[in-house]
Amino acid sequence: MVLPDDPVRSVAAFDPLTATPHDTLRELCARMTEGGCGFLLVVKPGAPAAVVTERDIVRAIGEGAEIDDVWATDVMTREVLEISADAPISEAARLMMTAGVRHLVVRDDAADTDGAGEEAGDAEGEEAAGERVGVVSIRDILEPLLETVEAALARDS
């Protein structure tokens, strides 16, 4: 059961789909289609630089972009909204609603650094030692919260 005060890490994905700044719009679309998502974390060697969303791609094509001639760096959103993995789910939902976005980058400063897990910096979604980078979507938040509400309603009826 997921509650609004539970930490974002309980619903976030720490294996986000990624792109490079030099991927074309066609490559971005293919990766989103294969991954069944509308959001890619754009990384430079080991460090998230920005994000590309379906909205970024639609905007670019609407403005006349050629899908094989325009790169992620041309359309990516550089001002990325982030939230701590320890923040409550309700805070993430509020930030998404206020900003009008469907995804947030999640920073997990409490990542495993004792050698038992992956070494810091090995995964594309990792930056510095002890920090993992993930993503949380509005769907990641709503699905488990709705299940919790439905279970409570069923129990009370």
- Which domains can be identified in the chain, with CATH numbers? 8-156 (3.10.580.10)
Structural tokens at position 38: 């509308």
CA distances from 30 to 23, 65, 91, 105, 129 (A): 11, 16, 32, 21, 31
Query: So what's the pLDDT on residue 111?
Result: 62
The single-letter code of the amino acid at 60 is A
- Collapse the DSSP code of 15 into the 3-class scheme (helix H, G, I; strand E, B; otherwise coil) and give the result: coil
Assigned token pair, 41: 């974390």
pLDDT at 89: 96
Nearest residue to 110 (alpha-carbon basis) of 5, 9, 6: 9
State residue 48's pLDDT score.
Answer: 65
Please give the pLDDT value at position 120: 32
Per-residue pLDDT of the chain (157 residues; tens, 9 = 90+): 888 999 999 999 999 999 999 999 999 999 999 999 999 999 987 666 699 999 999 999 999 999 999 999 999 999 999 999 999 999 999 999 999 999 999 999 876 544 333 333 334 444 454 578 899 999 999 998 899 899 989 998 8
Rounded to whole angstroms, how far apart are CA atoms 121 and 73? 22
Quote the pTM value. Answer: 0.81
Backbone angle region of 151, left / alpha / beta, with phi > 0 → left and psi within -120 to 50 → alpha: alpha
